[in-house]
Amino acid sequence: MERYNFKLIENKWQKLWESNKTFATTIDKSKKKFYCLEMFPYPSGKIHMGHVRNYTIGDVLARYKILQGYNVLHPMGWDSFGMPAENAARQNNLDPKTWTESNIQKMKLQLKKLGLSIDWDREISTCSDDYYIHQQKFFLELLKKKLVYRKENYVNWDPVDKTVLANEQVIDGKGWRSGAIVERKKLNQWFFNISKFSQNLLDGLETLDNWPNKVKVMQKNWIGKSFGCEIDFKIESDLPVNKIQCFTTRPDTLFGFSFLALSVDHEISNYFKDDPDFFKFKEECSKTGTTEEALAVGEKIGFKTKLKAINPLNPSQKVPVYFANFVLMDYGFGAVFGCPAHDQRDFDFAKKYNLEIKTVVKPDEENESFQVTNEAYTGSGKLINSDFLNGLNVPDESIIKTIKILEEKKLGKKKINFRLKDWGVSRQRYWGCPIPIAYDDAGNPYPIPDEMLPVKLPENIDLNSKGNPLDNQSSWKEVQINGKKLTRETDTLDTFVCSSWYYLRFCSPKEKSYGFSKDDIDYWMPVDQYIGGVEHAILHLLYSRFFMQALSFENTKFNILEPFNGLFTQGMVCHETYKDPDNNWVSPEEIETIDGKKYLKNDKSKLITVGPSESMSKSKKNTIDPEDIINNYGADSARLFILSDSPPEKDVQWSEEGIISSYKFIQKLWSLNTVILDEINKDHQKNNNEELEIYTQKFLKKITENLEKFSYNKIIANLYELYSFLSKEIKNSYKKEVLINNYKKILIAMTPIIPHFANECLEILEIKEIKWPEYDESKLREDIINIVIQFNGKKRGLIKTELNTTEKTLIEKINKDEKLIKYLDDKNIKKTIYVKNKLINIII
């Protein structure tokens, strides 16, 4: 029997799809559209197993939807700006553009070898100027809409490399590359006003029924809506300060007020500029780092001022005002009212500085003498020691009533606050989209006029000099606008901006006048199914949602608020980890197995210890190169294996045994195909099509349902079951038409999973018309079924019987059954529960 030559056959089909432009799409209003999108990759030069999984999942869906008759948009592109290119360029003395473009070529070939149903005519790359020109236009459009602004903000500053670092690039307070201690520095930065849409972004989540709940919860927490009250505290001081505004969610605990704390960046700090002690304190605060996480571990410290804050509900009470390191300037008003008894953070601070801890809430089960001692009480209960507020139920009634009283007395106002901060998009790097702005000598910004766009990145730059490379390009920096000599903005945009709108560009990849055309997005948007890693649950997905809101804002032409109708987040690809006796990581191909034990291949005296399976990473050396897998076993085997065993949303374990068994399975399917062709040629005359027909219908039902639910692992199980059924059943002398008709449907249902193999078999059978085979519910019915027999809820056997057997007949059958009759004996039947066509439970 001829072996299945995957190399030849896969190559043949891939060439065919390419030359026929099988997956190229255009608008066709007679058809329903389906936009299937996977998160586009960063062009590192090599695909990894994560890509294989992500793109296989998407491809299965896209191919299924094509067969169902949808007009499917399934594009691919490159998230090609970003630091790795700069680093690689610096190391290899290359230019980032050359490096990136050659990587794209390499990766594209690898992706094509997977046999994906991609419309490559729509390929885009974010680092090419015909992409980023539109991004610059969007930037200016948002600037006009006042959704972009410039402000001074604190950043992580690496004083050696002279650049801003992202939070994740600061390790133990030091720059990841230079090792220098990171400073907190105030810089002028561009911001997108994402917080303006806080409420919209929150409301939008409610409409996203096809998103994982987990992601919605994460975004909800990130947006962080809280309900409370703003309160003006009167101040007694010899400084020209007479009030401080605070935000609080617990105005009901105002009678427990014992201090007021300010951020060191609060405007009042200006009065302390010349105080050396305050300066020292501020230094101390900045040492605790800029990341919120670093702040969290740090001890609470304060700087006492001579200011006194007056309790608005009890004007005779005056409390000290502190600067404190735990107060954030960009949340609320940078000022906090402290109630130590009912807030753990305030409690810790009060303990340290010996401030009063006055209990004003008691739990329901305690009496009025209840006292907070070791930790703050934050639960529910009743207000005590609170004058006219006493007895109110905490928290709901007490908060609402207190706000009402404060409003009536004009001491405060109901207020909703969001945790979501504006998005700082300035990056002091070369390999990104230039910000289309120039400044005059006074530092006033001017937009670059439309006809001067794109602002292209200069080429042949020196990346080895310290600091921002664009800042060192004096010839590039100078620009004349309307006869005015200006200096360009030398920061580039965060690469997350590029990926915030690429899904729109795929709809109109060649459009010149704007980032996309209205006709195109009217037809294609929103993305019906977006597929990618859960690590983008917040940033990328929230930024993209914001971008859609921002483009639709004050826009009469279109109003799309949510870019991704459905979201699916796939799990990671894991592999066992290995270490040699010297505790070094060892990669799978350096290992040889002898008698079930693993040794180092080139030194078999060294025994390898097997560690837990972890997500593939270069640092642990537990990666498997997809290219090797495809070369050795073929794309269909790789696709089959990456989908098998684990549900797509969970992590999957890669194993050598697993891929081999997938490979063998395809060989078996091929042998079976040969047998079936043989049987077809024999053209038996027996007309017993029942079993095959029912099985095929059941199979199609299962496959269809599992495709709809992303239960791709179950589809693989269905295929194995199918194989074992067919390999027995096929010898049952079916007529030619019966065999072809059923087998054809089975093969078509396989094409989304193993497209090369299934298409090849269909071609041999000369099947031209390939549509998704609908199953027929009426043909699923079996006439003889098994009924479960239970006595007192315990399963005691099965009875084969006709469909719709009555309870009476069934009990008669049980009485005739040797094995079952002994349970009945001569006992009385107290009760029977009969679930028709399924089960009978006899209580005795």
**DSSP letters for 518-587:** HHHHHHHPSBSEEEEEGGGTTHHHHHHHHHHHHHHTT-SS-----SBSBEEEE--EEEEEEE-TTS-EE-
- 3-class secondary structure, 766: coil
Closest to 137 in 3D by CA, of 454, 438, 439:
454
d(CA 49, CA 685): 49
Q: How far is the CB of 746 from RNA (least distance, A)?
A: 16
d(CA 147, CA 553): 9
Distances (CA, A) of 661 to 53, 169, 382, 656: 18, 42, 66, 9
| Strand locations in 630-697 (E) | 652-653
d(CA 710, CA 844): 44
Dig out the tokens for 757 from the structure: 């193999």
Q: In whole angstroms, how large is the CA radius of gyration of the chain?
A: 34
Encode 421-432: b = buried (16+ Cβ within 10 Å), e = exposed: ebbbbbbbbbbb
Closest to 200 in 3D by CA, of 560, 503, 546:
546
Can you name the residues that pair with 598 across neighbouring β-strands?
A: 593
d(CA 697, CA 598): 46
Q: How far is the CB of 96 from RNA (least distance, A)?
A: 29
Q: Residue 708: enclosing H or E segment and its boundaries?
A: helix 690-708
d(CA 756, CA 773): 18
Can you name the residues that pair with 71 across neighbouring β-strands?
A: 33
Can you name the residues that pair with 841 across neighbouring β-strands?
A: 790, 833
Cis preceding linkage at 434, omega within 30? no
User: What distance lies between CA 183 and its chain's CA centroid?
Assistant: 31
- Cβ atoms of 657 and 663 closer than 8 Å: no
User: What distance lies between CA 237 and its chain's CA centroid?
Assistant: 51
Pure H helices in 75-212: 83-92, 96-113, 129-144, 198-207
Measured from the CB atom, is 294 or 770 closer to RNA? Answer: 294
- Cβ atoms of 743 and 765 closer than 8 Å: yes
User: What distance lies between CA 445 and its chain's CA centroid?
Assistant: 36
* Dihedral sign computed on CA atoms, order 818, 824, 829, 831: negative
Can you name the residues that pair with 210 across neighbouring β-strands?
A: 566
Output DSSP code: residue 390.
T
Closest to 642 in 3D by CA, of 7, 109, 58, 213:
58
Please list, in sequence order, all residues whose beta carbon lies within 8 angstroms of the beta carbon of residue 308, skipping any fewer than 6 positions away: 235, 236, 237, 318, 319, 320, 321
Can you name the residues that pair with 823 across neighbouring β-strands?
A: none
* DSSP tally for the chain: helices H, then strands E: 25, 40
Identity (one letter) of the amino acid at 743? Y
Closest to 423 in 3D by CA, of 203, 224, 190:
190
- 3-class secondary structure, 162: coil
433-434, strands of its sheet edge to edge: 426-427, 492-493, 433-434
d(CA 807, CA 832): 9
- Cβ atoms of 147 and 554 closer than 8 Å: no
Measured from the CB atom, is 214 or 306 closer to RNA? Answer: 214
Please list, in sequence order, all residues whose beta carbon lies within 8 angstroms of the beta carbon of residue 673, skipping any fewer than 6 positions away: 761, 764
Dig out the tokens for 614 from the structure: 């972890």
